[in-house]
Structure 1
Amino acid sequence: MINHIVQFQFKASLAPEKVQETCAHLVSLKDKCLHPTTHQPYIKSFKAGKQDSPEGNNNGITHVFVMEFGSDQDREYYLTKDPAHLGFVKTLDGLIEKSQVVDFTEGVF
């Protein structure tokens, strides 16, 4: 499994309703992103929430989204071709102060 972790710092001027709407849109991709041949959802799991670490080391990150993909090919399709994901990315203009994305395969060091 490939873990894909997306972290956002929303702009401070953004209305809380817009933050909530944007988060809900991203979470909805679990069901909206369909495999190009099976036409079934291919994101294996999706977890999301507001950053709440007490360590004070979040560097401004406010929200975290963790997706699991079953293969490199699924992740590549999601990142470069999936119309639902690419459409979502277009909605982020002007909303995000900072973003960070990291991926890992469990057990590979």
Structure 2
Amino acid sequence: MIRGALLAAGVVSGCAAGVTSVAHAAPWQVPIASSYGAPGSLPADPMMTGARQLEAQVGPAAFTAPDFHPGVIRHMVMFRYKPATTDAQRAEVTARFLHLVQDSRRPDGSRFVQSIETGVQDSGEGNDAGLQQAFLVTFKSEGDRNFYVGRPVVTDPAYFDPAHEAFKQFAAPYLAGVVVFDYPVTLVDTAHPTPAPHHRRRS
């Protein structure tokens, strides 16, 4: 029932009214050792290298702390499903992803995902690169995003979200491709249209 409601809404907020109890871990929420792709499948990336260097410099506790580089962060994830993935399997992937707004928690039980929204590709421009579905996850700091993302940047299980790691293992067999794009939100005052960074960038 709840999964159907989540799919129909397409957006789930961590601050929704009436959501006050601590959710119990679902069967798929167990620590895992893999991510969306196979180990060693990730290409060298300057942002990933920089993030790893920063994590090593400040330590995992500071890097994943709620107050580390505060400011609104969007975490965009786009999926291309394998041809053999059924509609029911896609629906299950979607439901479990959306449910992370409740299931993703810090060791003290506090929720840190502000919201998750989703939608299927609906552009007719022909530039979708075969991607079929997008998810947009919102955090209020880089630290919260770092704790959620975990591997491949944060490798100590004490400093990343086991619910998200478990979801990645569940979803991986159904996915042919994944694109992830994070950005700090920049607000533009319409009265003064010069963009003003709303977020402290990674040093």
The two structures have a TM-score, normalised by structure 1, of: 0.92
Give the CA deviation at 1:87.
0.5
Alignment of 1:65-104 (within 5 A): 65-80=135-150, 81-104=160-183
Q: Distance in 2 between matches of 1:2 and 1:93?
A: 24
- 1:35-80, CA deviations, whole angstroms, 9 ceiling, x for partnerless residues? 333x222111211111111212101000000011111111111111
| Map of 1:8 onto structure 2 | 79
As a proportion of its length, which structure holds more strand?
A: 1
CA root-mean-square deviation = 1.4
Deviant stretches of 4+, over 2 Å: none
Unaligned runs of 5+ in 2: 1-71, 151-159, 187-196
SS at match of 1:3: strand
Q: How many residue pairs were aligned?
A: 108
| Map of 1:23 onto structure 2 | 94
The two structures have a TM-score, normalised by structure 2, of: 0.51
- 1:16-37, CA deviations, whole angstroms, 9 ceiling, x for partnerless residues? 1001111111110011101333
Q: Percent identity?
A: 29
Higher relative contact order (CA 8 A, sep 6+): 1
SS at match of 1:91: helix
Q: Which has the larger radius of gyration?
A: 2
